[in-house]
Chain A
């Protein structure tokens, strides 16, 4: 093995392992939650708490991250089980996309990362503006996707095995869903009542957690490997020329967010350090990155159809890009320097 290749492997191993050490505990936490949702949460609960109006449910779904903050690594197994327990797909999508952006931890880190006033700007509330803009655009994007998803049949969004497990009954000992006669049968034949016996819910919860953890981790590892490869091998200087023009900077930083797969709780610090890029492009980086990156594309593939995942990625890219370009044209943003010195 040549010294260069040895160093390549060692650098790759270091970066890859650091991502695994950082992300896997959160995936595990998410899958343990998903296991207990699967075993204990009756469908009637979501039926009770969610508004019957689909639009209202999406609007609320986009805000769930404020009270149930879940990072982008943990959210995928959680929403998978919530869908199985009756959460509408549109609502789940809004929650999944908004939660890594619209949550208190991300708000706090964004607030801290940006300066409260910029030396060359007349507006002194720079961090407030960036934080509120990030949360607002994140929420807006998530609910727009959710509202579109209302009109799409679940069969075009969800993978077969997720689709067919919707409405599955809780195991013995749990409250049974209050579905109308025949309703459960039409959604999933497995909603036939289970016979009595020992309470298997804890076993089911932990077995589901293991299964979800392995399933999610497999996609996560593939994403981590590609991300590490990009970060180690592609010179950072290659994105710098894009900073000259917002029409290039906004998509450029979204692409950078996509391949660098940063944690949403800390990506604001990286964005703030991108000195030559405009505020609009940094905002695009901060809104798009937590919703879509390489590892998430693979993790989403565990729940959603591949075609839908790519449709989602493309739509989010265009939507966030357009929103941030418009945001960059609002007069008060001209108070921000095009580059933070």
Chain B
């Protein structure tokens, strides 16, 4: 298929193809960015601070693509002789040299003065220059590395296919295996985490050291039934600080999360794992933060990864050498999936 456009005569097949596919690719990427942002799906992919960058990225991809589309013929003087230079008889690619003083004697000295803007842009893997051809020393660009149309198509397959396929396949969430492999059962509450996630629930100084029940009552909302409303990340990291453990032990709390089976210390089958996914920047750095929830009787059968609201009392036993938050369940019920599946 000859896709070379007559008005772009001095450009090789692959360079022309690169230009147009490049513009198309930027439009496709821009559309994906804007779609994910405007549809709200971006909340599951990016943390708050990175979402504006996705919007700006989509807009600038459009700007870049549009600018290149509108200027696609800029710096491209038409060949006066009316024939193509793409296949010079000397065996070199003279594609960009439409405006040389050509007399068909291949006066290479004048070729170096090519005015074509394409000579100034390194098309990826399609151009190189400066080959030493000995005494003749003709130094115009030619394309020993030009991968041809097939090479350009392969490049654009890599640029377009994975992104398009990912945008089609994704369900805006990880499935069980990925969640488990990313550390659902191996997370340990650290002092750093306790300080970070309890900072807004501690007195102005941000110090956990003197945390009291009065602080908790002042800074944490309660439900109509009097349960402290805590997100699961805070509950998880409470195990990283002895002051928090002391204050929270035995208090009624209410939280939401997803359910998977519990693996350790569950011989009698009374435990499930309640977890939330937490990301720093994007979903790919996601960490599952989970705690065991313990029933008085064998745990009920719940659909894996279903969303539940749990009311219960906290305790902080040391299990396998690590202090963990355990929520003793008083009440559990299915609940709506939140708009943002991943916390950040």
Binds B, one of A3-11, A96-104, A323-331: A3-11
Query: Is there contact, CB below 8 Å, between B117 and A232?
Result: no
Interface residues of A in 8-52 (CB under 8 A from B): 8-22, 24-26, 28-29, 32, 38
Which residues of B from 82 to 118 have beta carbons under 8 Å from A?
A: 112-113, 115, 117
Contact of B64 with A192 in the complex, beta carbons under 8 Å: no
User: Does A305 have its Cβ within 8 Å of any Cβ on chain B?
Assistant: no
Say whether A151 faces chain B, with CB atoms less than 8 Å apart: no
B282 touching A21 by the CB < 8 A rule? yes
Q: Which of A87-95, A260-268, A306-314 contacts B (4 or more CB under 8 A)?
A: A260-268
Interface membership of chain A positions 299-341, coded 1 if the CB is closer than 8 angstroms to chain B and 0 otherwise:
0001000000000000000000000000000000000000011
- Chain B nearest Cβ from A186, distance in angstroms: 11
Given the known inter-chain contacts A13-B165, A28-B64, A188-B130, please indicate yes or no for A236 contacting B42, CB distance below 8 A.
no
> Whose C-beta in chain A lies nearest to the C-beta of B322?
A275
From B2-10, B168-176, B220-228, B325-333, give the one contacting chain A. Answer: B168-176
- Closest A residue to B240 by CB, please name it: A341
Number of chain A residues close to chain B: CB under 8 A: 88
B38 close to chain A: CB less than 8 A: no
CA distance A35 to B145 in the complex (A): 22
CB B230 to nearest CB in A, in angstroms, measures 19
Complex Cα gap A50–B5 (Å): 45
0/1 string, B244-285, CB within 8 A of A gives 1? 000000000000000000000000000000000000111111
A108 touches B (CB below 8 Å) = no
Q: Which residues of A contact B141 (CB under 8 A)?
A: 190
The answer to whether B74 and A200 have CB atoms under 8 Å apart is yes
B193 partner, pick from A234, A262, A273, beta carbons under 8 A: A273
Name the distance in Å between A22's Cβ and chain B's nearest Cβ: 4
A190 to chain B, nearest CB (A): 6
Check if A114 is an interface residue, CB within 8 A of chain B. Answer: yes
Q: Are A273 and B192 in contact (CB under 8 A)?
A: yes
In the complex, the chain A residue whose C-beta lies closest to that of B173 is: A14
B127 / chain A contacts, CB cutoff of 8 Å: 161
Q: Is the CB of A272 within 8 A of B193?
A: yes
Residue of A at shortest CB range from B138?
A: A189
Q: With A28-B61, A161-B145, A203-B74 known to touch, is A171 a contact of B117 (CB < 8 Å)?
A: yes
Most buried by A among B50, B121, B280: B121
A204 touches B186 (CB 8 A): no
| A107-148 contacts to B (CB < 8 Å) | 112-116, 118-119
A255 within 8 A of partner (CB): no
A157 in the interface (beta carbon within 8 A): no
0/1 interface trace, chain A 148-175, chain B, CB 8 Å (1 if under): 0000000000001100110010010000
Looking at B155-163, B293-301, B308-316, the stretch in contact with chain A turns out to be B155-163
The reply to whether B124 and A270 contact each other, CB–CB distance below 8 Å, is: no
Interchain CA distance A235-B22 in the complex, whole Å: 38
Interface string of B176-202 (1 = CB under 8 A from A): 111011110111111111011000000
B53 proximal to A (CB < 8 A): yes
Q: Does B33 interact with chain A (Cβ within 8 Å)?
A: yes
Q: How far is the CB of A307 from chain B (nearest CB, A)?
A: 18
B175 adjacent to A26 (CB under 8 Å): no
Q: What bracket does the count of chain B residues touching chain A fall in? A: 35 or more
Q: Given A24-B57, A25-B57, verify A262-B285 contact (CB < 8 Å).
A: yes
Nearest-CB residue, chain A, relative to B56: A25
A195 with B283: in contact, given A17-B163, A213-B64 (CB under 8 Å)?
A: no
Residue B36 at the chain A interface, CB threshold 8 Å = yes
A10-B169, A276-B188 given; A189·B112 CB < 8 A: yes
Complex interface: chain A residues within 8 A of B190 (CB): 272-273, 275, 340-341
Q: How far is the CB of A300 from chain B (nearest CB, A)?
A: 15
Asked if A218 is at the interface (CB within 8 A of a chain B CB), the reply is yes
Assess the B120–A171 pair: CB atoms within 8 A.
Answer: yes
CB neighbours (8 Å) of A281 from chain B are none
Q: Which residues of B contact A235 (CB under 8 A)?
A: 180-181
**Candidates A10, A16, A189, A267; contact of B175 at CB < 8 Å:** A10
Question: 8 Å CB contacts to B: which residues of A229-273?
Answer: 231-237, 240, 260-263, 265-267, 269-270, 272-273
Supposing A10-B169, A10-B170 touch, asked if A25 and B53 sit within 8 A by C-beta, the answer is yes
Given contacts A228-B284, A233-B178, A267-B280, 14 further A-B contacts (CB under 8 A): A14-B171, A16-B166, A18-B282, A21-B54, A22-B45, A22-B54, A25-B54, A161-B125, A204-B117, A211-B123, A214-B124, A273-B187, A276-B188, A341-B323
24 sample A-B contacts, Cβ–Cβ < 8 Å, listed by A number: A4-B177, A10-B169, A13-B168, A17-B167, A22-B50, A25-B57, A115-B195, A171-B120, A190-B139, A204-B117, A206-B67, A207-B71, A210-B65, A214-B155, A218-B155, A231-B284, A232-B174, A232-B177, A235-B180, A237-B183, A263-B280, A273-B192, A275-B188, A341-B323
